[in-house]
Amino acid sequence: MSQIDLMSQALGTLVTEPRRGTMSESLSENERKQIAEVILSGGRVSPKYAASIIETSRDIELIWSGKSDDLEHVVLPFQSIEQIDEPRLDAAEEQSLFYLDFGSGRQSGGWTNKLIWGDNGLILSSLARGPLKHSIDEVGGLKFIYIDPPYDVGYDFAMDVSVGDVSVTKEPSVIEQFAFRDTWGQGIDSYLSMMNTRLRQMEALLADNGVIAVHCDWRVMHHIRHLMDEIFGSSNFINEIIWRYGKMSNTSRRFPQNHDVIITYSKGENYTFNPIRDADSEYKNRFIRYVVDNKVRFGSVKSSDDKLILLRRRKVEKDLGRELQDEDILFDFDEEFKTQDDVFYDISIVKGNAEERTNYPTQKPESLLERLLLAFTNEGDLVADFFCGSGTTMAVAEKLGRKWLGCDLGRFAIHTSRKRLISVQRALKDSGKPYRSFEILNLGGYERQHYLSNVTAETDAEGLKTLKRKAFVELVLTAYSAQPSNQLPPFSGSKHLTAVFIGEVNRAVTQSDVEECIEAAISSGITKVDILGFEFEMGISPLLADKAKEQGLTLTLRYIPSDVFDSRAVTSGAVQFYEVGYLEVKPDIDGRELRINLTDFGVFYRQTDADEAAISLRPGGSKIVVDQGQVLRLSKSKSGTITSENVTSRWEDWIDYWSIDFNFESKPEIIRVLQDGNEIELATGRFIFENEWQSFRTIKDRNLELWSAPHTYEKPGIYSVAVKVIDIFGNDTTRVFKVKVGK
């Protein structure tokens, strides 16, 4: 028997065995031989044969090029960047807030809501298999997931931000650009690969009685439906909700496309569902019923408004010729209403003047999320959004008394959500309602170590802890266009005549690192030093650069972007090492009371070469660009004359938000890790920034306070104060200094 006949026989056996979920018929003898010839010649078998030659136990399976069921199993520790708990109500009022430590005025214990910055693939894996899963289980498990993933190939993470009196486009980071290319680089195949791995991780994390809702549109709806049938099981399908958002458009070849789809599935049978009153039934089926002289009189009303009810009563009395008595009334309020169906036609898109508007390009209305959360969750349930964008899901969850967890890849998305959630806290506080504190987390240096392990593939049995320094240094030097050199420790290389120091992958550059570089450079006659680091210790004094300059040394601190871990970014020369911003503050002390005055701030961003942008302008045109730490308005007259106006002539124009921790170094960071199957706690040596006061701009209010509110310390002493500034692009600069408060 020939090799082809043997393969054909094997294929025939495979497709004739009974298999659950297979609807195709057996292959013919000729088809089996054709497939065998294709395989032996190294070719690809047509997708139409996939269901016939691949054994599966699934009810339904979607097949595409490059599909894999392999999931990320790495578990990385979460680092707490910041904790935010707006000042609480007076102690006497706190007794109603059941989750507070009444003595401190701050939340103590219980679930703290979480806003996580990073790759949701790694975040989902670390949540599902790491120590935080225990905390999730303690509050009853994750009951509801809503995601609004990118489903438009044109979405590229760019967005407009306000600066001064103009708007400038914030271009996506390199990491965001490559995330977009990974999602859509091969069209629907790569998109489905991304969604497949994420949805499988979410299914593992979801409680047994949980529900997931995926928001999409006509581009990917049918693919997502099949994929969720495969992952959650077609029997767990709940609804395909139609959200008709009312955005009208004229088309000549088809009906206007005026709706999105929200596909909902449960993980099991006992999920929560609370019927929602249909919007119209608020007034269609309400009436007052009277029994007068043994006859039933109906008084219909179109609202529950007391005035309308009174008018209806007066009309009945007029017809009757006397006043109604209490015994005449059969029902004060008879409410007969219909429940909301799967077509939401009464919720519009977020309007330009809406209070909730954040200018985030994919923002969804709060009323849409409110309806979903009211239907599929109860008060106190934990909900999550793993593509959280501007934070709509978390904002609504907070208002409805649900616990929440959200994450996003974009730094600007995290910053937008932070401002929005603080505003929600303030509004709830003003109305006397309870709210929870929240913390901002990331995977920090552990995520960088993971990326590096993928680049170098050089780890020993201990894994992430023993990555080779040499591979990391070579990676950064290549991205920085510098040359390696081991001749002068602690420097790792040079760029032209500048010595280059590279910090560690898993810790911040410290003040002692900087002092060592200054000492080595001066003793060796080096006049220029660049210090590169992912993070810089909050206590590094800006006076060090001034001290170095007095001794003839130019010292520059630059951030290493996470983009270095993407070989495509390095190869294309797209990685940019931005200089660390500078921040000046002035403390004002009166006894034990401290106020902080923000006095200066600067950054050094560059998105576009201003000269090149000016040349490309057409006569009569203008453009806003970011170059060398300035936002410039370029204009070209009809005669070709180019003018440039600095839009950020005031340093405060760069600031979008600033906050203060009045007692920094009071709360050491403790991370939880799994070691030999056991959960242990480790001190990182870092401190958590406790956000105790903040001022920020919103779309409607562009004012920014430059003086903080006064903070009174309980007792005199020396305290560390941390001031954090976040610029208009969502990047932060922090300064730490000591203050001595009196008696």
What integer best gives the mean pLDDT of the chain? 81
What's the distance, CA 408 to chain centroid? 2
Tokens of 178: 């490559």
What's the distance, CA 102 to chain centroid? 32
468-572 and 121-275+342-421 share a CATH fold: no
Instruction: Count, in order, helices (H) and strands (E) of the chain.
Output: 19, 35
- Domain covering 468-572, topology: Trna Endonuclease; Chain: A, domain 1 (3.40.1350)
Mean pLDDT on 344-359: 86
Question: Where do the DSSP E strands lie in 9-149?
Answer: 79-84, 100-101, 106-107, 113-117, 142-147
Assign 69 a pLDDT band (cuts: 50, 70, 90): confident
Mean pLDDT on 483-488: 87
C-alpha separations of 699 from 160, 164, 320, 354 in Å: 12, 12, 57, 10
Domain 121-275+342-421's class? alpha beta
What is the side-by-side order of every strand in the sheet holding 711-712? 582-590, 593-602, 711-712
pLDDT in tens, 94-125: 434 333 433 335 677 789 999 999 889 999 99
Parse the chain into domains and list their residue ranges. 3-53, 121-275+342-421, 281-335, 468-572, 582-741
Print burial letters for 561-599: b (CB count within 10 Å at least 16), e (below 16).
bbbbbbeebbeeebbbbeebbbbebebeeeeeebbbebe
Residue that wins the pLDDT comparison between 82 and 295? 82
Assign 350 a pLDDT band (cuts: 50, 70, 90): confident
Which residue type, as a one-letter code, is found at position 113? N
Q: pLDDT at position 333, please?
A: 47
pLDDT in tens, 514-542: 999 999 999 999 999 999 988 887 667 66
Distance CA 579, CA 31 (A): 63
Mean pLDDT on 247-255: 76
Q: Is the pLDDT of residue 492 over 90?
A: yes
Q: At what angle do helices 543-550 and 511-524 cross, to 10 degrees?
A: 10
Task: Show Cβ contacts of residue 653 under 8 Å, excluding neighbours closer than 6 positions.
Answer: 163, 164, 631, 647, 728
Q: pLDDT at position 312, please?
A: 67
Question: Where do the DSSP E strands lie in 467-553?
Answer: 483-484, 493-495, 498-502, 528-533
Q: pLDDT at position 90, please?
A: 44
Q: pLDDT at position 289, please?
A: 58
Q: Is the pLDDT of residue 334 over 70?
A: no
pLDDT in tens, 164-222: 667 776 666 655 665 666 676 677 888 888 899 999 999 999 999 999 999 998 888 99
Q: Is the pLDDT of residue 92 over 60?
A: no
Find out whether 583 and 600 touch, Cβ atoms under 8 Å.
Answer: yes
Q: pLDDT at position 184, please?
A: 62
Tokens of 14: 């495979």
Homologous superfamily of 582-741: Immunoglobulins (2.60.40.10)
Tokens of 298: 């109906």
What's the distance, CA 177 to chain centroid? 16
Q: pLDDT at position 212, please?
A: 98
Q: pLDDT at position 288, please?
A: 55
Identify the top-confidence range among 134-148, 313-327, 614-628, 678-692.
134-148
Mean pLDDT on 368-374: 96
Q: pLDDT at position 385, please?
A: 98
Q: Is the pLDDT of residue 600 over 60?
A: yes
